[in-house]
Amino acid sequence: MGQFGNQPDFATNDIKPITILNGFISDTPSSASFLNASVIYIGDNTTIGNELKVIPAGTVGPSVISGFSSPGYTGSNGTGYGNAAAVATTTSGSGTGLTVDITRTDVATGSIDYTSGLTLNTGAAQGYLNGDLVTITGGDGNAVFRIVASAGLPTVTQAVIFDGLGTGGFLPVTVDYVLATGTTVGKLIAAR
């Protein structure tokens, strides 16, 4: 139990006001506005409203594809491929819409070198997870690669709105981000 009833028990030197100027309030979460599981104190809601829009601590965003790796078996590079842009893929995984650029193949066999000859095309790829297998269309249809992906930053659609908050109280969850749009409480303080 904290020093006062119904208040969190923490001692810290990392107490900061949350303002637009210091970069903590944002509608596009980034590492610069990351509050790192902070407790939020609400100093005022009587003059400007009583809603706080936050992304709770630990929320991860959609996966971000950083490359490709071999699935671990011989022949997975396929044959009969040539250099091409925006080549469609099929997947045995979670995502849709991935296209790739083939920039380097073995001239004699047309096999794709995934370490230096296959790049993500900036298409509408979404929902892929680390380890998903994708097959590149064309050639002999046997070029199969594993997606290398990591969790991305959370998005605004993952935010939660707390309504009816009391002045001088703490939000009942720790948060990583406070969003500007949808937040109508004032004099916010973050502490860890």
Per-residue pLDDT tens over the stretch 52-83: 889 999 898 888 898 899 998 988 999 999 99
Phi, psi of 33 (to 5 degrees): -105, 15
Give residue 130's pLDDT. Answer: 92
Task: Looking at the structure, tell me whether residues 96 and 134 fall in a common domain.
Answer: yes
Q: Which pTM value belongs to this model?
A: 0.68
- Indicate whether 93 and 43 sit together in one domain: no
Regarding whether 92 and 145 lie in a shared domain, the answer is: yes
Is there a domain that residue 45 lies in?
yes
Say whether both 129 and 182 belong to one domain. no
> Does residue 116 have a pLDDT over 80?
yes
Calpha distance 29→178 (Å, rounded) = 9
Report the number of distinct structural domains present in the chain. Answer: 2
pLDDT value of position 23: 44
Tell whether 9 is covered by a domain: no
Domain-located, residue 79 = yes
Q: Residue 36 belongs to what domain range?
A: 22-59+156-191
Cβ neighbors of 185 (< 8 A, separation 6 or more) are: 42, 44, 45, 48, 49, 50, 51, 52, 165
